[in-house]
Amino acid sequence: MQQFTPAVWQSWERFYRANFINSLTGFKSASLIGTINAEGVPNLGMFSSMVHIGSDPALIGYINRPIAAAPHTLANIKANGFYTINHIHANFLDKAHQTSAKYPDEVNEFTEVGLTEEYMDGVQVPFVKESHIKYLLSLKEIVPIQLNDTFLVIGQLEQVFIDPSLRPTTDGFLHLDQAGTICSNGLDAYYNTTLIDRFAYAKPGKSAEKL
């Protein structure tokens, strides 16, 4: 095996180190977070640190980088209290990736990258029309991580919108591969996915059972 130690990766050029470390945690669910600022300008950003926190209540978190590096999404979430998360599909991946550029606060990133704002009844924040699976969150908690000045932003699920062609299975599962939802690795690589198998709830003393 090749062995890497802190002394090795601290000697690397910063982008080489970032690519290596970012790849280690594996494939991520890359999605677009839609927000609106206090002046009403919509904002869109690529985020891959989404994490399931709990199902009841339904809580979803993501990590926001230090404010100086990624100021707009978090500021808008704080100002408005609501935000959307939108799955990404291969046919608009290039546009989705472009939202990671540092646009000024007054720029509408939907217009800038060529994606379409969609507003649902009674919801002020924008969804991505091109996305087949999208959901609305209300801000519940921002947990500062003092180690590196990042934030765990936790929202409660308020509404979910799924394209009519994509029904949950009889046990509630969403086949994201059939929806064409992409995933990511590091900060620049994206993948389509293929289901290997689903398994029954694992119990000690029993072999894993395919569904």
Ligand X SMILES: Cc1cc2nc3c(=O)[nH]c(=O)nc-3n(C[C@H](O)[C@H](O)[C@H](O)COP(=O)(O)O)c2cc1C
Evaluate the CA torsion angle 173, 61, 192, 207 in order and state its sign.
negative
Those residues whose C-beta lies under 8 Å from the C-beta of residue 73, and which sit 6 or more positions away, are 33, 35, 43, 45, 47, 64, 83
Q: In whole angstroms, what is the distance from residue 158 CA to residue 166 CA? A: 20
Nearest in space to 161 (alpha carbons), one of 113, 118, 200, 210 = 118
Q: Which of 41, 53, 58, 63 binds ligand X (CB under 6 A)?
A: 63
Q: In whole angstroms, what is the distance from residue 123 CA to residue 66 CA? A: 28
| CB of 148 or CB of 207, closer to ligand X | 148
| CB of 73 or CB of 134, closer to ligand X | 73
To the nearest whole angstrom, how small is the minimum distance from the Cβ of residue 70 to ligand X?
Answer: 4
Site for ligand X in 104-143 (CB under 6 A): none
Answer yes or no whether residue 31 interacts with ligand X by CB under 6 A.
no
Answer yes or no whether residue 70 interacts with ligand X by CB under 6 A.
yes
To the nearest whole angstrom, how small is the minimum distance from the Cβ of residue 176 to ligand X?
Answer: 17
Answer yes or no whether residue 187 interacts with ligand X by CB under 6 A.
yes
Q: Tell me how far apart the terminal alpha carbons of the chain are, to the nearest angstrom.
A: 36
Which amino acid is located at 80 in the chain? N
Answer yes or no whether residue 47 interacts with ligand X by CB under 6 A.
yes
To the nearest whole angstrom, how small is the minimum distance from the Cβ of residue 93 to ligand X?
Answer: 10
Answer yes or no whether residue 86 interacts with ligand X by CB under 6 A.
no
Q: What does the binding site for ligand X look like in residue numbers (CB under 6 A)? A: 30, 43, 45-49, 62-65, 70-73, 97, 100, 102, 184, 187
